[in-house]
Amino acid sequence: MTIDIPNPTEHNQWYPFANRPLPPDVEGRTVNPAVIPVFDAVRLPPSARFVVVGAGVHGLSSAYHLAMYLERTGKGSGSDVVLIDKQGPGAGATGLACGCIRNLYMTGPLHAILRASVEVWESDPVNFGFQQVGYVSVGESNQTDDYLKLQASQAASGYPSDVYTGTEAHAFLTNLWPDFKTENCDVVLHEHRSGYAGTHMAVWGLDQKCRQWGVQRVYGATVTGYTLDASGSVTAVETDQGSISCEQVVVGAGAWTPEHWEWLGGPSHLDVVYPDGHVAEQMDMWTYWRLLEGEVMLPEGVDFRTAQHRDSPVLHVELMNTPVYSEDGRFLKDHFYSYVRYAAERVGAPGLQGGTIPVKIGPRAAVEPYGHLNDQYQAEEWFADYYCATLGMLFKRLENLRPFFKERRNGGIGAFTPDNVPVFDYLGDNAWVIADSNHGFKMIGVGKLTAQMMVHGDKPDELKPFTLDRYRTGATFGDRNSNCPWV
């Protein structure tokens, strides 16, 4: 569906997402397109030292950093790395993520992953489309202890943030946004180094870096399985365009991870042991959730800038005891959960993008066609009412925006792990799986850490807590106080 887009600034800007039509079917099937133009892709070679499967954020980042480190250390060259995607860069979640980059995690070890990731975002903010506007998270008093604990852990990982409570929290918020309604907002966390990135820019930047460092990028080849030797090591990656033998594999397959996991011999169910000793028996390894997201255009005269005339920090608000009513007074939910960022490149006009808590699907889902193309997993009507109501509850200027909700397809699905925290680990001794549990657009640094490990030999400390073995040894994560699975 297309609607007229207001353009109050009358800027002649090119908005890559503006009313993008759905792609045509290919041989009767709807397919997920690459989200950027592709140059210099090659045919599948018969062998390579490193095969990277999936050109989402993790595959692209791994391939780029592998190529760069091989060249720089004289241990090889970019052409030792083959990157394969069945469609092209950004065809999965990476191309349609909200692009929020934050460190708001109750799972302490993720703070170091995010520090390493923000270093990558900061390394080339222009080509990655990184806007380092900060991240402001707001809660009720029942989250104060969590925020203080989280701030201490962030500080220990080299990620500075501030916590404000009570009247200080209110003053912080109204200093940024004089029309902010501080009722029920008891605690604020402000992360300085966080922000957001335009997903198409990030994909473009990463793909260009792969190209510049000489990665052999094979787009349009579908991996159909892996050939394993008797010890379970991958000797070749099988595709619909032939077989490629290899020494090491990196899998960054996003929502398709369960399929690759099965091919590589990973378990479908497992007993999950928690630090307090209790065991959840035979849990599904993968559970799909669908994300509820949307976009709202800003009417003429309304902006989302701060009182200091800056692009606003990304804002995340969870008020567990505050109900949400629609702007015409209907009860919608007994709790408030909303995030929002400025998103002109996504909306195709001055506008906002954000969402709320995802919805659990279960252990199986129709992954194809993916994302916006899949009729089954689009946000329902209530979401637009809810999302616009939350914006109006927070800001005077954002009241009554429901008519400006952009009626188009949105959202996507992801495969979550048993504790909703990433698994970064080997299956066998040479298939490294980056399974980010569907909140890892921000985790661009995992590819860098992966490449360091593969080129230099030692596993970086940041990656160590995220083994599959944690479920067996009782180091399962799960320390969270939120209605949402990804804190």
CA gap 278, 273 in Å, rounded: 6
Dump the DSSP string for 168-230: HHHHHHHHH-TTB--TT--EEEEESS-EEE-HHHHHHHHHHHHHHTT-EEEES--EEEEEE-T
Say whether residue 223 binds ligand FAD (CB under 6 A). yes
**19 DSSP assignment:** T
Task: Find the part of the chain contacting ligand FAD (CB under 6 A) among 4-12, 158-166, 439-447, 466-474.
Answer: 439-447
Q: Which one of residues 408, 409, 442, 448 is an interface residue with ligand FAD (CB under 6 A)?
A: 442
- Which of these, 457, 120, 140, 440, lies nearest to 319 by C-alpha position? 140
Among 63, 93, 297, 357, binds ligand FAD (CB under 6 A): 93
Distance CA 477, CA 113 (A): 15
> What is the smallest separation between the CB atom of 209 and ligand FAD, expressed in angstroms?
15
Would you mind telling me the total number of residues written for the chain in this entry?
487
For residue 68 the two structure tokens come to: 């760069």
Which lies closer to ligand FAD via its Cβ, residue 185 or residue 413?
Answer: 413
Task: Confirm or reject binding of residue 295 to ligand FAD (CB under 6 A).
Answer: no
**Closest approach of ligand FAD to the CB of residue 144, in Å:** 25
The residue (of 169 and 433) whose beta carbon lies closer to ligand FAD is 433
Of residues 100 and 106, the one with the C-beta less far from ligand FAD:
100
Q: Quick check: 451 binds ligand FAD (CB under 6 A)? A: no
Binding test (CB under 6 A) with ligand FAD, winner from 98, 176, 283, 361: 98
91 is a contact residue toward ligand FAD (CB under 6 A): yes
Nearer to ligand FAD, 170 or 442 (CB): 442
Query: Is residue 423 at the binding interface for ligand FAD, with CB under 6 A as the rule?
Result: no
Binders in 246-275 for ligand FAD, by CB under 6 A:
252-256
97 binds ligand FAD (CB under 6 A): yes
State the number of binding residues for ligand FAD (CB under 6 A): 38
Binding status of residue 347 toward ligand FAD by CB under 6 A: no
The residue type at 275: P
Here the tokens at position 275 are 């630090």
- CB-count burial class (<10 Å; 0-12, 13-18, 19+) for 429: exposed
Q: List the one residue out of 144, 147, 53 whose CA is nearest residue 430.
A: 53
Q: Following CA atoms 242, 247, 249, 250 in sequence, which dihedral angle do they give, to the nearest 10 degrees?
A: -130
Residues between 138 and 197 with contacts to ligand FAD, criterion CB under 6 A: none
Which tokens go with 118? 């923000």
**Contacting residue, 35, 50, 51, 59, with ligand FAD by CB under 6 A:** 59
- Tokens at 387, concatenated: 């999302």
Backbone angles phi, psi at 249, to 5 degrees: -125, 140
- Residue 349: CB atoms within 10 A of its CB come to 23
CB of 163 to ligand FAD, least distance (A): 22
Least distance to ligand FAD from the beta carbon of 220, Å? 9
Q: Of residues 67, 80, 86, 409, which one binds ligand FAD by CB under 6 A?
A: 86
Nearest residue to 147 via CA among 434, 481, 371: 481
In the complex, least distance from residue 170 CB atom to ligand FAD, rounded to whole angstroms: 27
To the nearest whole angstrom, how small is the minimum distance from the Cβ of residue 475 to ligand FAD? 22
Note whether 345 binds ligand FAD by CB under 6 A. Answer: no
Report the nearest approach of ligand FAD to the CB of residue 257 (Å): 7
Strand order through the sheet with 187-191: 161-165, 187-191, 135-139, 314-319, 336-342, 351-362, 287-297, 413-416
Using CB under 6 A as the binding rule, whether residue 84 contacts ligand FAD is answered as yes
8 A C-beta contact, residue 384 and residue 402? yes
Footprint of ligand FAD (CB under 6 A):
53-59, 84-87, 91-94, 96-100, 222-223, 252-256, 291, 293, 411-412, 414, 436, 438-442
